[in-house]
Structure 1
């Protein structure tokens, strides 16, 4: 099997030297070049056409996310993996939206890093467990948001009254509608939110889960 061709973009010399040493000792990888800043990387990566670019986010000048946006179209077969200390949600999703296929923290041991590079090369999307949890949480939050946005104004009104502890009959009186109509609206609310009862509906809609 041909070694996986890698370029590294990392401004900290000790980290860059450490990664260089580890990658060159592993015959599964071929380190083509390293860059201390995104500007130089953006200029030279298209000539190298590596299989994988290990990209730091926090670089002097242009950051790693901007660098990916700039060179991704010029390196169509290259895959980008973020290599960073950041676990910040927005940084994670900004990097993935820019075209990164994986996201590993710098505290990841090299053996796990190597596994991640192999996984990425074979079509996977390696992420540390902390990052994967954030991605899943964001996805779940987006799904919940869509479900809540799908409620009609009347359903939102009834759900809010439910959250205040009102009974069906009290909701009917307050809104001047029949109790059966309230019951029907609540049935639709449960269906749209994929829940079974009042507590689940309130928790899902108002973020108490």
Structure 2
């Protein structure tokens, strides 16, 4: 069972997500709240695997919630949920460490698949959002530094950019998944990021590969 923690200020949407996930049999909703002001405390008490985070919430926005969570926890998976697929939200979500970005109007199956994907190490995005991410980084100047990545670390990073999960990276490079995790920890440290999506964003933005 994948343990899911949900933040959204719409009671109707939270109830719909709860029904969707409960009906699938693969998930457990460990918490459901209308704001993320106490997110770090909630995480320490509820131990979720994946967080579904609405962007537009009163008092503390989802973007602020991600930044707050990443100051304490760099391993938990966070998927942003929003009505709008605008560049500013996408950039901020990735910059602060979100692992995926899914529109609320997505089909129920797409939301379920996104949670499973991010749990397994993927970085789910709607096609419209993925297109905007590529457009955002298109035409940016090459990096002035290579961040000291080894050739193997670049191969791992390239595989992440290609959208592969940790298991797929291991299979394609013929290395163990533990070795993949070691390379990814080193990549995160060198790039000064704390999530797969942030590493991919930096690789694209700075033309590292």
**Once superposed, what is the RMSD of the aligned Cα atoms?**
1.5
More relative contact order in 1 or in 2 (CA 8 Å, sep 6+)? 2
- Matched with 2:86 is 88
Q: Which residue of 1 aligns with 2:52?
A: 54
- Aligned equivalent of 2:168: none
Q: Deviations over 1:2-35 (max 9, x none)?
A: x111100000011011111111111111110101
Q: Which runs of 5+ in 2 are unaligned?
A: 144-209
TM-score in terms of structure 1 length:
0.65
Look up the SS of the partner of 1:127 in the other structure: coil
Matches of 1:86 and 1:43, distance apart in 2:
28
**Other structure's SS at 1:39 match:** coil
Q: Look up the match of 1:151.
A: none
Alignment check: 8 A CA contact 1:52 1:81 kept: yes
Query: How far apart, in 2, do the equivalents of 1:13 and 1:52 lie?
Result: 19
Structure possessing the higher radius of gyration over alpha carbons? 1
Q: Please give the residue correspondences for 1:1-209 in structure 2 after superposition, counting only pairs within 5 Å.
A: 3-142=1-140, 145-146=141-142
Determine if contact 2:40/2:72 at 8 Å carries over to the other structure: no
More helix by share: 1
Which consecutive residues of structure 1, in runs of 5 or more, have no partner in the other structure?
A: 148-209
In the TM superposition, residue 146 of structure 1 has moved relative to its aligned partner by: 4.1
What is the CA distance between 1:42 and its match in structure 2? 3.8
Matched residues in 1 for 2:93 and 2:74: separation? 17
